[in-house]
Structure 1
Amino acid sequence: MFDNLSDKLDKAFHILKGHGKITEVNVAETLKEVRRALLDADVNFKIAKDFTNRVKENALGQNVLTTLQPGQLMVKIVKDELVELMGGDAAGINLSGNPSVILMSGLQGSGKTTFSGKLANFLKTKKNKKPLLVACDIYRPAAINQLHVVGDQIGVEVYSEPENKNPVQIAQNAIAHAKQNGFNVVIVDTAGRLAIDEQMMNEIAEVHKAIQPQETLFVVDSMTGQDAVNTAKAFNDRLNFDGVVLTKLDGDTRGGAAITIKSVVNKPIKFIGTGEKMDAIDVFYPDRMADRILGMGDVISLVERAQEQYDEEEARKLQKKIAKNEFGFDDFLSQIQQVKKMGSMKDLVGMIPGVGKALKDVEIEDDAFKHIEAIIHSMTPAERSRPAVLDAKRKMRIAKGSGTDIQQVNQLLKQFDQMSKMMKMMQGTKGKNLMRMMGQMKGMGLK
């Protein structure tokens, strides 16, 4: 995510770090490189120029030239300005209606239908809501089918009238259906086009006027850069939406749309799509995104994801097994599954401060655990629960059955043995402290 921009900003700050004494010339040179990095990231020239001018004013105002660590102070100033440019504080979603109506808008191919499903899943699992998805794309039969497939995936009902060609009527009927059947959120997926046209704008404006949604979201593909920003402006001029959703952010190496869309339409980015899975949705936090752009990681998001998978009861059972020396490969497999549920490996690595930058040239695959799982699945239940029984003959059979070699099997057994010893050491006071710390984290405002 934003790899190119992060690399170029990092190089820009190296100009300051390489000097014992900082001059206005050094600062100007650094800011020139920052501006160039923003332009390469597909940020509008005027926005990039205004940004570096503000950074320069703040830098001179905070006496960067005389500070002991000018490089660090410059990074902080740039970070603060980036946060402001992307919206300052995180913007919530308005769920005040009964039911709350959310209207989705955007061009065809922006990921609108998929995101409607992700949002429904998010509201169902994280906000304890009962959402209803509404298929209002009257032009593409495939769009109605797609929404039904998405609804089945996440266990959310989809309202559609395939024969009805009046989107206003469909939306109104869906809201009436929601009221009668106890749905408290209605997400209306509308038709998109390959380009902005008058018919499309009139149609969505009519739907908007008829259903008076609490929340109107504009969904846009972040990888289209300045085109995304221009499209957002055209929609906002007509629809006056409440917030932006940036999809496909995991594949965006530049970041121009995320950085500039707020300053152009003066509407916050509310959500981001970070992958294909139905749980690949995040609330947009400008400060966390600025940290990631500047290679500082995003520990808070990492902790939040870990907490979502943390099961106190399971942790207690695991602790008892470790205490009795009964920790086996089935338990190890369970831990791997929990890590996988947290998201893509590349995304998780990028959240750890310093690690993302250190591994920037390393290809991190989402199936990083594939061979480990294959080895464990090739073991018998008895072998999984008592790894000590694994002799040379059994190892050969497991290697053959898992499509790996004997070295990989031995390496896994060695890693497992080291981990078991470490977990055993964590028992007693240290283990209790860890459990208590996880419990406290769960009770903090990191929800």
Structure 2
Amino acid sequence: MFESLTQRLSGTIERLRGRGRLTEENIRESLREVRIALLEADVALPVVQALIERIKVRAVGQEVLKSLTPGQALIKVVRDEMSTVMGSAAADLNLNTSPPAVILMAGLQGAGKTTTVGKLAKHLKERRKKKVMVVSADVYRPAAIEQLRTLAEQVGVQFFPSSADQKPEAIVRAAIDDARKSYVDVLLVDTAGRTSIDDAMMAEIKALHAAVDPVETLFVVDAMTGQDAAVTAKHFSEALPLTGVVLTKTDGDARGGAALSVRYITGRPIKFIGVGEKPDGLDVFHPDRIASRILDMGDVLSLVEQVEQQVDQDKAKKLAEKVAKGKKFDLNDMRDQLEQMQNMGGLSGLMDKLPGVGQIPDHVKSQVTGKEVPRMVAIIGSMTLKERRNPALLNGSRRKRIASGAGVTPADVNKLMKQYQQMEKMMGKLGRGGMKGMMRGMKGMMGGRGGMPFR
């Protein structure tokens, strides 16, 4: 998300960063570029106008022009105002009610409601330590009920069965009764997709909302619809007392206009953003971190949280102990590291959280396709246990056999071995306490000046 916006803004920001002096003319020129970048990113016009005006008021005042580093001060103003437009701080779910806390999910057909229910159930179970039940009130699409059943099994939460011949209100009332008896903390209710102009369907969800009185009513909207996402959310917020928005399919939206528009137009906070189809592809929406990411400052806090949640701590501890004892880092260890990286979304999933990615040339970024890490794992999987433990055995004929087994070229095997040698050297330096040497090793492993590990 935000790829095109970041590319447009990062050039403007870079020109400002080193300026020792700014004038009102400089600022006007820069804000004109920011305005064009926002419009091209499909940010709604009222949002662009309000954002530019807010930045301008602060920029031509004491805060920027009198600053010792005016270029950097202006960048901070842009980041702060973007964050404010998106909601300033993360908006938490309100679960302060006698259990079960009912969360009603609403949205258009195809927005990803059912998948989001599964993701939110996993989030509440694992990160909030809640006992969760899910139920489908989508009586128009029996496949949705079965899909939710499957998702509930995948993420390990309770599923309350329903069928197409029941009334939505009756389904949810029965689910609430069962949730109380089962001491469930949170009940997630999936509903049928509907549009704001479908009067009968809107009347149905209004009646359902009145009957179950949910503590949270979340509107699920596809980020790829751009500023239309904000308009649709506004229509729903006029019909239902929405408490928040979930933006889905954000990995497919390179522009990011929806994220910048929804809060301003609806007055409702974005609480979560969904990425991909996997059950763990749901993140809390942090406006300040998103603003930093848009301005190519990275999102290191989210990256650290992601590592804490998704890295196998036992394996990490064992590797650290092994390295500290001076034992050799082998290809089995490398495969473990690669598999953990893949769990976090691979290289492409990590890249957008790193500072300065907007400055990497397109032809280099295009080399990151998401297939790099699985290909490397396949190459190591094609080796014998003896070869993985003792990489020095890998002569030309063995590398040719491994390449054939993994469906790659011998050159790909050679590249992997080069990266292994760099990782081994880096781990050796870490074992000897040389952090500076390890950082140099990491830079080399990522390809030195802009190169990518696998082409």
TM-score (norm 2): 0.89
* Aligned AA (2:39): L
Provide the residue aligned with 1:397 in structure 2: 401
**Equivalent residues in 2 for 1:267-346, closer than 5 Å:** 267-322=268-323, 323-346=325-348
Q: C-alpha separation between the residues in 1 aligned to 2:47 and 2:320?
A: 54
Q: C-alpha separation between the residues in 2 aligned to 1:202 and 1:151?
A: 28
Q: C-alpha separation between the residues in 2 aligned to 1:315 and 1:384?
A: 19
* Residues 370 and 310 of structure 1: CA distance in aligned 2, closer, same or farther (over 3 Å): closer
Q: Which runs of 5+ in 2 are unaligned?
A: 439-455
Within the alignment, does 1:423 sit opposite 2:423 as a pair? no
Provide the residue aligned with 2:92 in structure 1: 92
Provide the residue aligned with 1:412 in structure 2: 416
* Aligned AA (1:318): L
Within the alignment, does 1:74 sit opposite 2:62 as a pair? no
SS class of match (2:108): coil
**Equivalent residues in 2 for 1:33-432, closer than 5 Å:** 33-62=33-62, 64-97=64-97, 98-193=99-194, 196-322=197-323, 323-361=325-363, 362-363=365-366, 364-429=368-433
| 1:107 and 1:196 in contact (8 A); partners too | no
Q: Offset at 1:352?
A: 0.9
| 2:101 and 2:186 in contact (8 A); partners too | yes
How much is the aligned-residue C-alpha RMSD, in angstroms? Answer: 2.2
Deviations 1:301-350 (A, max 9, x none): 11111112344433332234333534322221111111111125323111
Q: C-alpha separation between the residues in 1 aligned to 2:262 and 2:404?
A: 53
Q: C-alpha separation between the residues in 2 aligned to 1:17 and 1:424?
A: 38
Which sits farther off after the overlay, 346-355 or 112-121? 346-355
Q: C-alpha separation between the residues in 2 aligned to 1:138 and 1:250?
A: 30
SS class of match (1:272): strand
Q: C-alpha separation between the residues in 2 aligned to 1:15 and 1:318?
A: 43
Q: C-alpha separation between the residues in 2 aligned to 1:72 and 1:133?
A: 48
SS class of match (1:240): coil
Q: C-alpha separation between the residues in 2 aligned to 1:106 and 1:316?
A: 43
Q: C-alpha separation between the residues in 1 aligned to 2:417 and 2:10?
A: 40
SS class of match (1:74): helix
Which sits farther off after the overlay, 367-376 or 314-323? 314-323
**Equivalent residues in 2 for 1:3-22, closer than 5 Å:** 3-13=3-13, 16=16, 21-22=21-22
Deviations 1:337-368 (A, max 9, x none): 11111125323111111134315442222221
* Aligned AA (1:420): E
Deviations 1:259-297 (A, max 9, x none): 121112211110000222111110000000000111111
Q: C-alpha separation between the residues in 2 aligned to 1:269 and 1:424?
A: 45
* Residues 49 and 356 of structure 1: CA distance in aligned 2, closer, same or farther (over 3 Å): closer
Provide the residue aligned with 1:445 in structure 2: none
Q: Offset at 1:42?
A: 2.1
Q: C-alpha separation between the residues in 2 aligned to 1:347 and 1:392?
A: 34
SS class of match (1:134): strand
Q: Offset at 1:216?
A: 0.9
Q: Offset at 1:28?
A: 1.4
Q: Offset at 1:20?
A: 6.6
SS class of match (1:114): helix
* Aligned AA (2:90): A
| 1:374 and 1:402 in contact (8 A); partners too | yes
Q: Offset at 1:195?
A: 5.5
Q: C-alpha separation between the residues in 1 aligned to 2:317 and 2:11?
A: 47
Provide the residue aligned with 1:444 in structure 2: none
| 1:349 and 1:356 in contact (8 A); partners too | no
The percentage of counterpart residues that share the same residue type is 47
Which sits farther off after the overlay, 306-315 or 340-349? 306-315
SS class of match (1:422): helix
* Residues 380 and 283 of structure 1: CA distance in aligned 2, closer, same or farther (over 3 Å): same
SS class of match (2:77): helix
Q: C-alpha separation between the residues in 2 aligned to 1:136 and 1:263?
A: 30
Q: C-alpha separation between the residues in 2 aligned to 1:357 and 1:211?
A: 50
Q: Offset at 1:402?
A: 1.6
Provide the residue aligned with 1:439 in structure 2: none
Deviations 1:206-242 (A, max 9, x none): 1111111111101111111221111111111111111
Which sits farther off after the overlay, 334-343 or 288-297? 334-343
SS class of match (1:426): helix
| 2:179 and 2:187 in contact (8 A); partners too | yes
* Residues 312 and 159 of structure 1: CA distance in aligned 2, closer, same or farther (over 3 Å): closer
Deviations 1:127-154 (A, max 9, x none): 2222111010011122212212222322
SS class of match (1:369): helix
| 1:175 and 1:186 in contact (8 A); partners too | yes
Which sits farther off after the overlay, 251-260 or 62-71? 62-71
* Aligned AA (1:263): Y
* Aligned AA (2:55): V
Q: C-alpha separation between the residues in 2 aligned to 1:410 and 1:25?
A: 54
Q: C-alpha separation between the residues in 2 aligned to 1:237 and 1:148?
A: 32
Q: Which runs of 5+ in 1 are unaligned?
A: 435-447
| 1:16 and 1:27 in contact (8 A); partners too | no
